[in-house]
């Protein structure tokens, strides 16, 4: 019984692996005659052309003809550049009801911005002078009633 199940499984697996070679994709004068078994995928449209394909294909060959080319296999993805992490913003209570906001002096091209509402779509640059003591950049704010939200923006 166990041997019969194993034999059935092996035959089914061989049939599944052989099936793609019996199939082909074509449209007009263009043809892809050796599809592979893979997962995922999607379609891309442009002008009068459409390409439906899968990702993570086992085949890594290149196809070409005329001004068209297609490379199968593991496709690379263009990723957005990794942006630097924002500097750490420190907030401390100063003397005479002031608030001292600071961040590392080595952080260039970062501006302190403020908003009275976190849901606001418009933030404004803090207009007070920024002091640089060589280690930190500092802004001293007068504390007031209500909420004031701060962020560093590059």
pLDDT score at 17? 54
Q: C-alpha angle 146/150/154, rounded to 5°?
A: 160
In whole angstroms, what is the distance from residue 52 CA to residue 25 CA?
Answer: 10
Nearest partner of 111 among 134, 93, 129, judged by Cα: 129
pLDDT score at 21? 47
pLDDT score at 139? 92
Q: What is the CA radius of gyration of the chain?
A: 31
pLDDT score at 120? 75
Beta bridge partners of 82: none
Q: Are 88 and 79 in contact (CB under 8 A)?
A: no
Q: Are 41 and 54 in contact (CB under 8 A)?
A: yes
In whole angstroms, what is the distance from residue 154 CA to residue 128 CA?
Answer: 17
pLDDT score at 108? 85
pLDDT score at 131? 92
Which residue numbers in the chain have pLDDT < 50? 20-24, 57
């Amino acid at each position: 019984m166990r041997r019969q199940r194993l034999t059935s499984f092996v035959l089914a697996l061989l049939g599944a692996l052989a099936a793609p070679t019996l199939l082909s994709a074509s449209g007009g004068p263009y043809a892809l005659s050796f599809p592979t078994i893979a997962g995922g995928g999607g379609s891309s449209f442009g002008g009068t052309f459409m390409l439906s394909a899968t990702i993570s294909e086992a085949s890594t060959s290149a196809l070409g003809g005329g001004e068209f080319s297609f490379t199968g296999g593991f496709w690379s993805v263009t990723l957005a550049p990794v942006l630097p992490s924002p500097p750490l913003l420190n907030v401390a209570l100063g003397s005479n009801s002031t608030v001292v906001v600071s961040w590392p002096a080595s952080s260039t091209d970062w501006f302190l911005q403020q908003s009275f509402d976190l849901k606001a779509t418009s933030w404004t640059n803090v207009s007070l002078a920024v002091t640089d003591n060589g280690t930190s950049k500092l802004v001293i704010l007068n504390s007031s009633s209500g909420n004031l939200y701060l962020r560093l923006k590059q």
